[in-house]
Each structure stands twice: as C-alpha cells, then as structure tokens.
Structure 1
Amino acid sequence: MKLAVFGGTGLIGSQVVEILNAVGHEAVPHAQSTGVDVISGQGLDEVMAGSDVIVNLTNSPTFDEASLGFFQTSMDNLLAAGRKGGVGHFVILSIVGVDQVPELDYYRAKVLQEDILTAGPIPYSIVRSTQFMEFIDAILSWTADGETVRLPPTPIQPIASKDVARAVAEVAVGTPLRGIRNIAGPEVFALDELGRITLSHKGDNRAVVTDPTAGMFSVVKGDVLTDKDAHLAPTRYADWLS
C-alpha cells in the first residue's frame, strides 16, 4: 500500500513513516522541505498519483484565529488533489474532546478540519488523541516565571507520541472508519499534579501553584481531555520520563 504522509517529517509523521515502511508499506513523507506545500498546493497532484491513502499530520503554525484559515485551505487542497488522484482513504489526527471547547480558536479550527473531511468525497478516518507527553514541557512554560509555574487542576490523560504514531499507522492501513477513534494514555492526572511530577523528575525546584485561571487549559472543564471509551495506549508517564 502506498501512503502519502503530509507532515511526514514532524514528531508524529516521521514515526508513522518509519512504522509503515518497516512492515512493507510504501509511506512517503511530504512537507515544505520536500517541495510540497498544502497551502499553495505546490506538488500535491504529483505526490497523489498512485497513492492509496492520505495521512494528513500537518499543523497550523499558530494557535490563534489564523489557524481556521490554515485548516480550511489545506484541507480543500488535499481533498481536491486526492480526489483527482483516486485516493481511497483520508486520515487526520485530531484532539479528544475538541468539539467541546469552542472558546479556543485552535480547537474550533480542528473541528472545522474534521467537518471538511467528513463532508468531503473521500472515505475517511479521524484519530482523536489526548495531549502528547512530549508537549508537557511547553505547557509548563506558558505560565512559568522565575520561581513558580501556575497550572489549573484540569484532568489530562497524556499519551506518548510513539503510541499516537502506532495508532495512526494502524488506522491508515485499515478500512476507513467513516468516524472517530479516540486514543489516550493509560493514566489520568490533574495538570497541576502532572507539573509537580515533571519538575520533580527534572530536579527543578520551582513550585507549582494551582490556579484554575492559568493557561490555555483553564477553559477546558470536566473530563473533556479524557475519554472513557478511548483505546488506551501502554506507555505510562513515569516510564516515559525515565
């Protein structure tokens, strides 16, 4: 099976390509660095020729309102080129609970991406993931100063990127779901608790202050970041830290 992996040089995409090629598929990574641009459309028709599956792992360069335009244009271009090339399956990676947080521009943009895909002409699969373990340091940095890190007690169920990549690869070579598969890590933490665990492991003496108004995840309420019906990945956070 030949798969065109857009965003194929990034954190998830590079691992998806490696996994698929290791089991005998032909997964080809595409990105601006390889001469393919999902916004201008450069190179899309050429790389779709002979491809069976599109795996779209590209991401907006910003998390603000401009992300809506990124996903609108990129999905329109990919769907048009994929239909022209006769692609039979289109896979995207999204976020668990993304449709429950309209306050965030980026989450609304990801919902738009899902809606464009489901209304499009190509059979599809959506993999929704909880937050990556690899992103925890970035989350801590958003509300950090010299002595403290302020974090809300929002529940979070982090997943290792390698487990995300395996799930995406599995879905990509399967029958189109025409729906959503939720994936998550095996443990639920309060985000402030996860911050303390992370800083302690790194020998970082800054204090974590519980602040329900701090950072992007302060607007995420209840169990939006978790999913009781999700496929649970095996990697525990302590093992990933080690």
Structure 2
Amino acid sequence: MEFAFLAVAAFLAGLIDAVAGGGGLVQIPALFSAFPGMPPATLLGTNKVASVAGTANAAIRYGRSVRIYWAATAPAVVAAFLFSMAGAWALTMIPAEPLRKALPFVLVTLLVYTVAKKDLGTEHAPSLSGTRERVAALLAGAAIGFYDGVFGPGTGSFLMIVFVRVFGYDFLHASASTKVVNMATNLAALLLLASKGHIWWQLGLVMAVANVAGSQVGSRLALRHGSGFVRKVFIVVVSALILKTAWDAFAR
C-alpha cells in the first residue's frame, strides 16, 4: 500500500515539477508520511532517485521542442552540480533551521513580485550576453545548487524566477533551462547520498517510473499551453510552497 501511495505522489510530483517546479512539495512529505521511522537521509536520497529521473525526462522533452540557451544554461549546470554536492556535504555540518524559518518569507517576496509584474515572463527577450551572462549563470547556479544540496524545497521555483528575471526568458524557455539545471543538482545530491548508502533503491525505482510518467504529462501540458499557463501554475505552486514551508517552520 505504501508503494502504491508513493507512486501516485511521485506521478503528481513529476507533473507539477515539469510545468513549474516544486514537485518536492508533494513527494517529500509523502515519503515522510509513509515511512516516519526511516532515517531522513535515506528518504531524501530515495526522493532524489525519482526526482533525477523526472527532471531528466522533462529536460529531454523540452529540448526537443524549445530552444535551450546553453550560453547561460551550461555554466549554471556546472556550478549547480558542484555546489549541490557541496551543499549535501554541508548538510551534515550546519543546522538547516535558519533556512527553514527564512524560506516562507523569501517565497512570499518572490510571489508578490511575480504577481505585481504581470508582464514578467510573458515575452522571451534574453537580456544578457558574453561574460556578464556567464558570470550571472555561474553565480546563480552556485547559490541555488548549494541551497538544493543543503535544504531543497522550492529549488525549481528559484531557478525559474532567475531565468525569467535575470536572463529575460519567458516562462516556457525558463522552465526548459530550469529542468536541465535542476537535473544536475538532483544528480549531484543523489551521487553523494548513494555513496553514503542512503538510497532505498526498490522504492526509488518505483517512484522514478511514476515520476517520469507524470513528467511526460506535465511537459506536454506546458508545451501545448505555453508561457501563460506555466506562469499560472508557477504562482499556484509558490503559493502552496509558502503555506507548506510556513507550517513546517512555525506550526509543526
């Protein structure tokens, strides 16, 4: 029963993540609910098995239909991979509580900004090039990669808003680049946790299949309905993330 429940959760997570990021909002709480006695590192490692499969599938789907701007995406991928691994290592060294309490307020700021800027992400007009573009991509990849390794919730949403606001992408192109970078952060954390033996492979592979199926549906919806649809789902996902992270930080 637990495996079936988590397969459904992974499907929904893959669908949500493929459109606007934030699949962990569904997948991680479901894992902790189904196996409350399991070591957290093992549950988080198992989550990464499903997540890396889903984000890789979404990245491939987007790559076939939407141009990925590698001048910004590739440096962000490299920095995100390295710093996500560093963040996963730092997880054992520093407390996550300050991040947990600050996250809802950061997400509220992101949501207010997105809603107030009604034209944000509706037009694709890349705004950086050359050295400035590469430096911005490296800094963004490093910061968000480290965050994903050490904590994680909302990584896809943060990547999305960076590609929209800093690089001038519309939400559809931003979503495509986000999936590639997020795949790198997931893979880095997965490799580190696997080396420590924190993977339940049987469950992770079941969830990976379900996550890929959800990712197929979500990426197809995003490609069919375009940036306006992705923007709306993004706002809904960030709103849900605010409620969930605030509950975890202050009410639980």
Larger RCO: 1 or 2 (CA < 8 Å, sep 6+): 2
TM (norm. structure 1) is 0.25
Return the index of the structure with the highest Cα Rg: 1
TM (norm. structure 2) is 0.24
User: Larger helix proportion, structure 1 or 2?
Assistant: 2
User: Larger strand proportion, structure 1 or 2?
Assistant: 1
